[in-house]
Each structure stands twice: as C-alpha cells, then as structure tokens.
Amino acid sequence: MITSPSLIPELDDIVSRGDPKRRADAARRVSELFLQGAAGFHPDHVDLFDGVLISLVPHAEIAERAELAERLSALANAPRNLVGQLAHEDEIAIAGPLLRHSPVIDEKMLIEIASVKGQGHLLAMAERPTLSTDLTDVMVARGDRAVVRRAAGNAGAAFSDSGYSTLVKRASQDGVLTIRLGQRDDLSPAHLKDLLSGSIDVVRRRLFTVVKPERRAAIKQAMAVISGPSEREERRDFLPAQRTVMKLHREGMLGEGALLNFARAFKYEESIAALSAMTGVKIETLNRLISGDRYDPILIAGKAVDIEWATVRALILLRVDPNRTASPADIEAARVNFARLMPATAQRVVAFWKTR
C-alpha cells in the first residue's frame, strides 16, 4: 500500500462521519498524495484513490477544486470517476480545464455534458485537440457565436455535412465565422460556394488574403460558379429593351420612376438601357461595369444623374438577381458610400466611361 500511514487510521472515519471541514482537509491531503505519486501508481492504486476522493473532494472549496482539476487535466491516469465528477460541475473554473485537456474523459461523457451544460462548458470543449462529428453536431446545435467560432477554428475538429450546412448558414451573419470556415481544408466545394454566396464582398476579399495559396484557386472557382458563366452576359439581347426605353423617351416618360419600376421588376435589360439613356454611357459599357464584382459603378452612375438611394438600392438588388439576397451589411456599406460620393466626382468618371 502506498498511501500515507498517518492518514489511514482516520480516513474511514472521516469519509463516513467526518464534518465538512475535516473532509475538505482530508481531500486536500489525499489529493496531494495522489498527485505526488501519480506517475508510479498502478491502476488498482488509482482506483483506490478514486473511490476515496469522490467522497471527499465535493467538500473542498471552489478554488481548491479548480486547482485540483487543473492539475488532473494533464494526467493520463487521473482517477476517472473523480474527473467525471469535476467535469460535470457547473463552475467553469473547475470543469473547464478538464473539458479542454483531460485525456481521461471519453466521447460519451463529452457528448452528455455538451447536451446539458452551458456555453462555458461548450467553449472549453471547443479547445480539445480533437472533436468528433457527433460532438460538434451538439456544439453547433447548442453553441453560441463564441463556441462555433472557436470550434470552426480548431483544426482538429471534424464536422458532419449537416453540421457544416448549419455553420454556413450562421456564417452569413458572422464575418469571423466565414473567415474561419473558409480556411478549413475539409470544407467541401459545395459548402465553400454556399459560404461565399452568403458573405459580403469585404469578407470575401479578406478571406482570399488569409487562405493558403492552394485554397485561393478553390475560392476563385466557387466565385465563378456564383457569378455564373460570362457567356450569360454576352447572350443578353438589349434590342427589345432599347425599343421600350426609346418609346418612353419619345413620350416624355423616361426618368427615375421608370428606372425604379424596371429595377424592382428585375428587368435587367430595360434597367441598363434606361440608365444608358440617362447617363449617355453605351449599353455595352454599362453592362460590363455593372455585372462586375463591385457595386461602385451603380453608385457612380446613380450619383451622376442625381437619382435617389431607393433607386440605387433597387439596382443593386437587381444586379444580385431575384434568387439571392444581398447582405444587409453590404447594402448599408453601399448606402454610406453613395451618400459620401460627390456628384462632380461621379460625373467625371461617367465622362470617362463615355469615351470607352
């Protein structure tokens, strides 16, 4: 027997009949005894300590239990029942170190704790070296923003297809999550496309700068799919739209109201033809500019002919197309830029476009 002779005579009495103070003191002494000799203990010795400590440790102060949990979290032969008891505690200072690092806690216990405990417990788990798909499914379903961000940034985490789908949906309102998901090597091309579809331009550009060089090709390919084939724009027939716009012009009805109606009805060709007539810029030039990656040409053209933000916004949404939704953050950024843009500056740019 390896335990201290001075402790043995009183231990049974303390465990069965001792007051909380005596039990707390005994917990301190027995814990220290275990920690000092842990490296040399056989499994049966560990089990002996386990049986004693699970009765004594709950009587120790929170700070003492937290310190014990921290020291146990690094031990591969820590008492399993005691570790489980501490990991289930509501106080995250106690449970946290074990949930982050302990190799003793098995998958079943992690999932059980993740299913019932609070965000602090989930956040601690998200730092474990490896996370299974079963565990991350629970974390994605129950975790708040901090939890899913940390899990997504954990290279040792694995996510199921449904878990990734949920994360991608949440990322549409969370740029940090978008960046972390976009950097993951195991993110499928389909999920990457969905991730980029729901993100704003500034986040896409940031993601492109931080990913590995080999990942950039996948992002470019996904963006090409999102934008659609370039032939789509070349196939557009603007002649009927031009006739409609010219008729409105002859009748004195071509103005911002007509442009707004075209945009709200998602009549792309008519909108471009009307804007061409109002700005004097060739349809081919406007089409090429507006179908690009940025909203700036719409803002410039709108400011140059002095149309209202509501019409500019409708043109932005028209460019996105009716089957997708523009990010609120993207729209707000465009509104701020439109308000700041000086008419004289916009007119100079439009004058340059006319020469192209």
Residues lower than pLDDT 70 in the chain? 1-20, 227-235, 293, 320-326
Inter-axis angle of helices 189-197 and 161-171, nearest 10: 20
Structure tokens at 174: 């969370």
SS3 188: coil
**Per-residue model confidence (pLDDT) at position 328:** 79
**Per-residue model confidence (pLDDT) at position 13:** 53
List pLDDT tens digits, range 130-188. Answer: 999 999 999 999 999 999 999 999 999 999 999 999 999 999 889 999 999 999 999 99
List pLDDT tens digits, range 56-75. Answer: 999 899 999 999 999 999 99
DSSP characters over 85-114: HHHT-S-HHHHHHHHHH-SSS-HHHHHHHH
What is the per-residue burial (b if ≥16 Cβ within 10 Å, else e) of 95-124?
A: bbbbbbbbebbeeebbbebbeebeebbbbb
**Per-residue model confidence (pLDDT) at position 7:** 46
SS3 228: coil
